[in-house]
């Protein structure tokens, strides 16, 4: 048993496009869009075959080769995202969410003043610890104690009852 012919043909073309892009220093918009649409075609064929009641056999070698080419494509993520029209193409073609090659995540660029924020954060840690120590010491040494806290609570309770009695 072998991989269905339309799927194998679509994969062969995809493999060739991935190999060609790996060798090019400059990628044209047509090359990138053609590659992405070819990968769409493969996924459409896989989805179609999966919906058939008696799905044809797809060899493990096919899946391994496809995974290897997908890995190669994923490694080219930065170059794909550098194409200014990538997001526009995705919005225009509106591919399904499980088409991962259309939903690449751009790496977060470091902040221009990241070094400044890191320095300020590190400098503020001793200040925060000193304030926490000072505040906790005040609670421990200047606290009114167990009976003092209850005295305040009982006094407040009497005042609330007295006010309620006057309101009636």
**Considering only CA atoms, which of 113, 117, 112, 92 is closest in space to residue 102?**
92
Q: Where are the domains of the chain?
A: 5-102, 114-167
Reading the block at residue 22, the tokens are 């790996």
Q: What confidence tens digit (pLDDT) does each residue in 41-55 have?
A: 999 999 988 888 888
Q: Pick the range with the lowest mean pLDDT from 99-113, 137-151, 152-166.
A: 137-151
The secondary structure of residue 59, as a DSSP letter, is -
106 Cβ contact list (under 8 Å, min separation 6): 81
153 Cβ contact list (under 8 Å, min separation 6): none
Say if residue 141's pLDDT is above 70.
no
Q: What confidence tens digit (pLDDT) does each residue in 79-100 have?
A: 777 766 777 888 888 888 888 8
Is the pTM value of this prediction over 0.85? no
């Amino acid at each position: 048993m072998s991989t269905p012919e339309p799927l194998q043909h679509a994969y062969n073309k995809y493999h060739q496009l991935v190999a060609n892009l790996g060798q090019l220093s400059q990628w044209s918009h047509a090359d990138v869009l053609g590659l992405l649409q070819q990968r769409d075609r493969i996924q459409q064929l896989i989805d179609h075959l999966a919906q058939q009641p008696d799905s044809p056999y797809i060899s493990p070698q096919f899946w391994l080769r496809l995974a290897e080419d997908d890995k190669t494509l994923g490694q080219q993520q930065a170059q794909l995202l550098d194409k200014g029209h990538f997001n526009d193409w995705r919005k225009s073609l509106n591919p399904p969410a499980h088409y991962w090659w259309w939903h690449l995540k751009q790496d977060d660029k470091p902040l221009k003043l990241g070094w400044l924020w890191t320095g300020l954060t590190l400098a503020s840690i001793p200040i925060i610890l000193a304030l926490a120590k000072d505040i906790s010491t005040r609670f421990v040494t200047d606290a009114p104690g167990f009976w003092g806290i209850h005295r305040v609570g009982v006094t407040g309770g009497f005042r609330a009852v007295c006010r309620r009695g006057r309101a009636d």
